[in-house]
Amino acid sequence: MKNRIAYCVSDHTGVTVEAVAKSVLSQFPAFEFSLITLPFIDNHEKVQSAIERIARTPDALVFSTLTDPALRDRLRDSTPSLFDVFDLLSPAVETALGHAATPSGGRTHGMAHNYESRMDAVNFSLALDDGLQPQRLDQADLILIGVSRVGKTPTALYLALQYGLRVANYPLTPEDLAQSSLPQPLLAQLPRLRGLTLSAERLAAIRQARYPDSRYASLAQCREELAAAERFYALHAIPVIDTTRMSVEEIAARLRSA
Amino acid sequence: MKNRIAYCVSDHTGVTVEAVAKSVLSQFPAFEFSLITLPFIDNHEKVQSAIERIARTPDALVFSTLTDPALRDRLRDSTPSLFDVFDLLSPAVETALGHAATPSGGRTHGMAHNYESRMDAVNFSLALDDGLQPQRLDQADLILIGVSRVGKTPTALYLALQYGLRVANYPLTPEDLAQSSLPQPLLAQLPRLRGLTLSAERLAAIRQARYPDSRYASLAQCREELAAAERFYALHAIPVIDTTRMSVEEIAARLRSA
């Protein structure tokens, strides 16, 4: 495995340029890349420091989403392997729009928007975490349901932070699962429900880390709870996501489009 | 303002291609863009549906991070204004590495990695939210401090979800602020502390939405608390972030590099 350093240079947070670099570099599995992000490179002094740092690794790759033309020129002049996202994409977009780009340094680009509504969504999702405040479930965009430790809370928070969705989550306890239908507060909200599941082996491993050698963490108990939850999902035609091999981004994107 | 639709086509979550599209399109402020994300386009049937949907808007822009060569060819053949991130970036990277890309459909690209450590970080950040479990503060990567409603919880959760950092948060109450130094559990962890602040006007507006016309939400009270918190930050040389005009991504990236 060949090792290479890849710098991600941004005049803002670096979230976009990191995502691009990871995507492109995943197409080169023969290499192992170490990513170093240099965020907030938004004036000549910082560009100069970045150039000096990059120059210490002559074979480094450099991805950039700098927007200010003067800063971009300066970086380009001193960096052999530079991949400037705007240089590579903007000309094609200019042609399609029949309109010249107006690059301006420091403009907030990427995912930084709707701060208020996303923070409201996070606060909502925390307030309705783990079955809290069931009387407010009708205010949710989505309600995630599933057994203990299936990943409801992180998924709800990711959907709130990334997409500004108000996502409640409600646990299905062994007592709930022993009934013939879903708990009453959920029955009133069927269209909003999304079921999470995962493999019994994964669930047992997750529970085991928390309560070693408990009945709660036993494979038999996990199998029984998951099977009962899945019967409820089938009974009410609730969309289900199996999270066994998914990242939280993937789970969230699938739930959003379910 | 001219309106245009921009499609973001991905064989995975679409997080990367959305970030790229937003970045590039922010360079064209004369247009108003509506972004439509088509995630999980990972077989010929789904590409065909995407093509048919896109064809209904002849002047739409289309950004793509499809990786499978056959799917990319098919989309390219039927989409006039296609910006294929890999087509545009990969050749330059291939030249720099002296190695051909091996594009493979369905490979997880982008930010989907370290699921376990990120979920652990979220659980940690929730367990140490709002001053809970101060005896575990020494296990935190960062400890966010600040007055009520300054944005500690969402920021901590974002750092956990995005970067896998274990981030506690600890409120500075009016009682804490009346003392001559920081609360004891924080004094033992000075290098881990990061202070949040924001404008008194913004804080008052945020508190007002929650407790209208309370003393808690008054501008005078907000000014007093923020000034006292900032005196503590200065006293202990704690790095400070003013969140007044920042997105959660920006706050997180600055804290991470502080």
Q: Is B21 within a domain?
A: yes
How confident is the model at residue B140, as a pLDDT?
96
Residue B200 has which token pair? 């008194």
Question: Is B63 a domain residue?
Answer: yes
Please check whether residues B67 and B125 belong to one and the same domain.
Answer: no
Number of residues in chain B: 258
Which of A97, A132, A161 terminates a domain? The answer is A97
A71 and A31, same structural domain?
Answer: yes
Give the residue with greater pLDDT, B105 vs A87.
Answer: A87
Same structural domain, B128 and B88: no
DSSP state of A189: T
CB of A37 closer than 8 Å to CB of A47: no
Helices assigned H by DSSP within chain B: 15-25, 44-55, 69-77, 85-97, 115-127, 152-163, 174-177, 184-187, 200-210, 219-235, 248-257
- Name chain A contacts of B249, Cβ cutoff 8 Å: 13, 15, 110-112
Is 70 exceeded by the pLDDT of residue A104? no
What percent of chain A has pLDDT above 90? 69
B92/A27 Cβ within 8 A: no
Q: How many domains does chain B have?
A: 2
Whether residue B103 is contained in a domain is answered as no
Task: Say yes or no to pLDDT of A144 above 90.
Answer: yes
Q: Both A71 and A120 in a single domain? A: no
Check if the beta carbon of residue B125 is closer than 8 Å to that of residue B160.
yes
| Contact call for residues A196 and A170 (beta carbons, < 8 A) | no
DSSP letter for A108, please: -
- Inter-chain CB proximity B86 and A14 less than 8 Å: no
Residue % of chain B over a pLDDT of 70: 95
Contact B81 A96 (CB under 8 A): yes
Give which of A1, A5, A7, A24 to mutate to test B binding, by max B Cβ within 10 Å.
A24
Mean pLDDT of chain B: 90
Q: How far apart are CA B42 and CA B44, in angstroms?
A: 7
In this complex, the residue of B81, B151, B249 whose CB is nearest that of residue A111 is B249
Residue in the structure block whose two tokens are 């399609």: A96
In A, which residues are within 8 Å of B24 by CB distance? 85-86, 89-90, 93
Question: How much is the pLDDT for A112?
Answer: 45
Contact A253 B39 (CB under 8 A): yes
pLDDT score, position B109: 45
- Give the pLDDT of residue B144: 97
Give which of B243, B168, B147 is closest to A112, Cα–Cα: B243
Task: Indicate if B240 and B134 belong to the same structural domain.
Answer: yes
Is the pLDDT at B111 greater than 70? The verdict is: no
Asked if the Cβ–Cβ distance from B24 to A89 is below 8 Å, we say yes
Note the helical H segments in A79-190: 85-97, 115-127, 152-163, 174-177, 184-187
A97:B4 CB<8 A: yes
Beta carbons within 10 angstroms of residue B70's beta carbon:
13
Separation CA B240–CA B230 (nearest Å): 8
Q: Are residues B43 and B165 in the same domain?
A: no
Look at A112 and B249 and tell me if their CB atoms are within 8 Å. Answer: yes
**What pLDDT does residue B116 have?**
74
Report how far apart the first and last C-alpha atoms of chain B are (Å, whole number).
39
H helix or E strand, kind and range, residue A56: none
Same-domain pairing of A12 and A77: yes
- β-bridge partners, A242: A197
Nearest CA distance, A180 vs chain B (angstrom): 32
Q: Which residues of B touch A162 (CB under 8 A)?
A: 15
Provide the pLDDT for residue A113. Answer: 55
Q: Are B46 and B159 found together in one domain?
A: no
Classify residue B158: in a domain, yes or no: yes
Is B153 part of any domain?
yes
Same domain (yes/no): B91, B171: no
Half-sphere exposure of B194 toward its Cβ, with a 13 Å CA cutoff?
26
CA-based nearest distance B172→chain A, Å: 19
Q: Which of A97, A125, A150 corresponds to the end of one domain?
A: A97
CA distance B96 to chain A (A): 6
Please list every residue in chain B whose beta carbon sits closer than 8 Å to the beta carbon of residue A112: 246-247, 249-250
- Number of helices (H), then strands (E), belonging to chain A: the values are 11, 8
- Answer yes or no: do B133 and B70 share one domain: no
| Dihedral pair phi/psi, residue B143, rounded to 5° | -125, 115
From the CA of B47, how many Å to the nearest CA of chain A? 16
Whether A111 shows a pLDDT value over 70: the answer reads: no
B9-65 pLDDT tens trace: 999 888 889 989 998 998 898 899 999 999 989 999 999 999 999 999 989 999 999
The number of residues making up chain A comes to 258
- Residue A229 inside a domain? The answer is yes
In this prediction, residues B184-211 reach a mean pLDDT of 93
Which of A2, A3, A13 to mutate against chain B (most B CBs within 10 Å)? A13
**Cα angle B87-A7-A109, degrees, rounded to a multiple of 5:** 70
Give the domain CATH number at A57: 3.40.50
pLDDT in tens, A19-71: 899 989 988 988 999 999 999 899 999 999 999 999 999 899 999 999 888 99
B222 and B149 in a common domain: yes
Mean pLDDT of chain A, nearest integer: 90
Query: Which residues span the domain enclosing A21?
Result: 2-97
At residue A148, the 3 state secondary structure works out as: coil
Report yes or no on A224 lying in a domain.
yes
Asked if residue B1 has pLDDT above 80, the reply is no
pLDDT surpasses 70 at B104: no
Count interface pairs A-B at CB distance under 8 A: 212
In-domain check, residue B28: yes
Amino acid present at A206: I
Give yes or no: residues B75 and B141 share one domain: no
| Last-in-domain residue among B97, B125, B156 | B97
Q: Looking at the predicted structure, is the pLDDT value of residue A103 above 50?
A: yes
Residues of A in contact with B22 (CB under 8 A): 16, 109-111
What gap in Å lies between CA B153 and CA B159, rounded to an integer? 10
